[in-house]
């Protein structure tokens, strides 16, 4: 596992070029999204051979209790197309540390870099058949989800596809399922926040990977007495970002196109629908040029709370901005969603930050920054953003099953083997 992490870093340029060519991710972003997974592989390598059980004394019942943790067997993972290396590491690395075999299916939109893993896995010394990589669209994933010999499946993707995976698992062998299904994350900006910092993270920070990030804070909630200042600053930031869009293979390109024509048409469909509803477009909202899947970074003002651009995951460079009067209203608006993957809070008051974080219905909360995943901490969602957690100790436990053994200490002495 450590060797594979070394090889990821050694071949970072080659792997980044493959990812960029497949789905338009800027090459600079693609490099960053390989270095993080290398660290995750090393983190879980530290667990290999160290998974221990628990023991409990007989007490009054005279029973000595042992809990041991065993691998599940053959596990599978299905990755979304927007972050192949990260999503693959979240699934494969803990499965390996726990002693399982694994089948990884990449998205048909971004298969190239993961296919290049084959040679690296062999070079790292993984035995044949321990990790298997396949590619393909939905029907291939359905075969994995319904396979009778797969003990667990981990899925990252859309909510409808996640429901289909869960249904297939239930209809087959009732395999264990973990789901990460995206979100419509809120950013709460209070009037005591450092405004330039909040603008940075809700503009250039949000636009990383062209907004195609499951936990990106696409609903921005601003305290009304600073709303005009925020809107002026974020408008300029989005206008500046539009000038930094370009060829994803070039190092100086900050923001690239959407993944493909289908995703482009989806995002433009949301924007056209917003116009029909009368939503004010502060900046952007149009295609850039007449070639490629480039969409202008877009800010929408005060859409109705039932508008699709406000409720649905767009997965593109689009934020909506609404205002709130006080903390209570901010929390109510933030939680008024079927999703619960993440949230961000911007304030100069740490007591408020922790108080609000405790009331936000989300699996991860960032304070005064967009939150970042880390090897040590779990990642996953509340509500319809998914089931289970990846990364951290929780990610390892997801690939183990506990077995309880009771020994009757009052019985005649056990014979030694």
Q: Is 180 marked active-site? A: yes
Q: Please pick, among 54, 123, 180, 327, the residue that the annotation labels catalytic.
A: 180
Secondary structure class of 317 (helix, strand, coil): coil
Q: Give the helix/strand (H/E) hosting 335.
A: helix 327-335
CA–CA distance from 86 to each of 41, 135, 268 (Å)?
10, 16, 27
- Residue listed under structure tokens 């070029």: 17
Which one-letter DSSP state was computed for residue 210?
G
Rounded to an integer, what distance in angstroms lies between the CA atom of residue 335 and that of residue 96? 36
- In sequence order, what are the residues at sequence separation of 6 or more whose Cβ sits closer than 8 angstroms to the Cβ of residue 118? 133
**Sequence-ordered alpha helix ranges (H) in 57-171:** 84-97, 112-115, 117-124, 138-145, 159-171
CB-based contact 37:89 (threshold 8 Å): yes
Torsion region of 50: left, alpha or beta (phi above 0 gives left; psi -120 to 50 gives alpha): alpha
Rounded to an integer, what distance in angstroms lies between the CA atom of residue 25 and that of residue 47? 32
Q: What is the DSSP string of 218-264?
A: -EEEEEGGGHHHHHHHHHHHHHHHHTTB--TTSTT--B---SSHHHH
Sheet containing 186-189, strands listed edge to edge, beginning at the edge strand earlier in sequence: 280-283, 298-301, 318-324, 219-223, 186-189, 342-346, 364-367
Tokens of 396: 């390892």
Which of 213, 191, 309 minimizes the C-alpha distance to 258?
213
Tokens of 288: 């850039």
Rounded to an integer, what distance in angstroms lies between the CA atom of residue 10 and that of residue 75? 28
CB-based contact 395:94 (threshold 8 Å): yes
Secondary structure class of 85 (helix, strand, coil): helix
Active site residues: 180
């Amino acid at each position: 596992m450590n060797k594979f992490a070394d090889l990821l870093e050694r071949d970072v340029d080659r792997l980044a070029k493959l990812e960029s060519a497949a789905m338009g991710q800027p090459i600079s972003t693609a490099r960053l999204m390989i270095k993080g997974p290398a660290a995750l592989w090393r983190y879980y390598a530290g667990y290999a051979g160290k998974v221990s059980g628990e023991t409990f004394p007989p007490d009054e019942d005279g029973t000595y209790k042992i809990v041991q943790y065993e691998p599940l067997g053959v596990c599978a993972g299905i990755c979304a197309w927007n972050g192949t290396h990260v999503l693959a590491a979240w699934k494969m690395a803990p499965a390996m540390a726990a002693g399982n075999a694994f089948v990884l299916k990449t998205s048909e939109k971004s298969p190239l870099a993961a296919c290049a893993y084959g040679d690296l896995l062999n070079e790292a010394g993984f035995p044949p058949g321990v990790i298997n990589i396949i590619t393909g669209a939905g029907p291939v994933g359905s075969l994995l989800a319904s396979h009778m010999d797969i003990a667990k499946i981990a899925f990252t993707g859309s909510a409808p596809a996640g429901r289909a995976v869960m249904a297939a698992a239930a209809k087959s062998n009732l395999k264990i399922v973990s789901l990460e299904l995206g979100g419509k994350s809120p950013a709460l900006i209070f009037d005591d926040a450092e405004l330039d910092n909040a603008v940075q993270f809700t503009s250039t920070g949000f636009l990383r990977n062209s907004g195609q990030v499951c936990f990106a804070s696409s609903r921005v909630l601003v305290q009304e007495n600073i709303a005009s200042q925020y809107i002026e600053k974020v408008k300029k930031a989005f206008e500046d970002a539009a000038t930094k869009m370009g060829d994803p293979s070039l190092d100086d390109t900050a923001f690239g196109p959407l993944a493909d024509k289908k995703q482009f048409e989806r995002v433009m469909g949301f924007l056209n629908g917003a116009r029909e509803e009368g939503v004010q477009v502060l900046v952007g909202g149009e295609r850039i040029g007449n070639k490629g899947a480039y969409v202008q970074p877009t800010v929408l003002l005060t859409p109705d709370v039932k508008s699709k651009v406000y409720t649905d995951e767009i997965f593109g460079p689009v934020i909506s901005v609404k205002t709130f009067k006080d903390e209570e209203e901010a929390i109510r608006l933030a939680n008024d969603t079927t999703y619960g993957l993440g949230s961000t809070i911007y304030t100069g008051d740490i007591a408020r930050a922790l108080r609000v974080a405790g009331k936000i219905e989300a699996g991860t909360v960032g304070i005064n920054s967009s939150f970042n995943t880390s090897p040590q901490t779990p990642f996953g969602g509340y509500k319809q953003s998914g089931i289970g957690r990846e990364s951290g100790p929780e990610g390892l436990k997801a690939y183990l099953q506990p077995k309880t053994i009771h020994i009757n200490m009052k019985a005649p002495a056990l014979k030694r083997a």
